[in-house]
Amino acid sequence: MTRRVIQLLIGLFLYGIGIALIVRAAIGVAPWDVLAQGIDNHTHLGFGLITILLSGVVLLLWIPIRQKPGAGTLLNALLVGPSADVGLWLIPADLDLWARILLFAAGLLLIAVATGLYIGAHFGPGPRDGLMTGLHQRTGWKIWIVRTGIEVMVLGIGWVLGGNVGIGTVLFAVLIGPLCQRTIPFFAVHRPAAVSPVPGPDAERVAG
């Protein structure tokens, strides 16, 4: 249990830092982060706070689809945003292109590792994971249809609001899934009669 808790907290913290690296790279961010950026452009509440608020809204959507959050779900909603703010505070903006490309690559790899850590701790899915799997269970639609529909809708709203859509957005969508497919089993804590978690949008953000 101690290892699982530590792994969960480290994973969530690193997830936020990974998001910050990709945001500072400024070559395009994951769909949910595009939405957070777009909302921040108009409200100036701060990227981290908006990330928390979006997680809260997503959790409210769990109610009609009868999803139940775990401890990891709630901690995901509360901790990823502040850790992203820490990263944004530490990492300078307006770097040269070569440096921003390195930031993006580092952020992508860090998010994959962080995903493996927090999902592998078996404390429940992230808010966006649960929304996808819950809709899949309630509607019978295929996972990829549900995920694609959610991501496209979120990306479209974020883009209209002025979020950063670019080549990084495409690269994230293409690469995060294969990377997480490696990290999730690698960091999974093996428990008797444990049920393997189903990776979703947070595992492929793009967290969340």
Q: What is the pLDDT of residues 68-79, one digit of tens each?
A: 888 888 898 899
Amino acid 101: pLDDT: 95
Tell me the residue ranges of DSSP E strands in 43-173: none
Task: Specify the 3-state DSSP secondary structure of 199.
Answer: coil
Is the distance from CB of 21 to CB of 103 less than 8 angstroms?
A: yes
For 176-200, how does the pLDDT look when each residue is reduced to its tens digit (9 = 90+)? 878 887 888 888 887 665 444 444 4
Q: What is the largest CA-CA distance in the chain?
A: 50
100 neighbors 169 (Cβ within 8 angstroms): no
* pLDDT at residue 191, as a whole number: 65
Other beta carbons within 10 Å of 96: 8
Both tokens of residue 82?
């502040």
Cα 138 from Cα 141, distance rounded (Å):
8
> Looking at the whole model, is its pTM more than 0.85?
no
Element (H, E) at 53: helix 47-62
pLDDT-derived band at 44, boundaries 50, 70, 90: very high
**pLDDT tens string 132-164:** 778 888 888 887 788 778 888 898 999 999 998
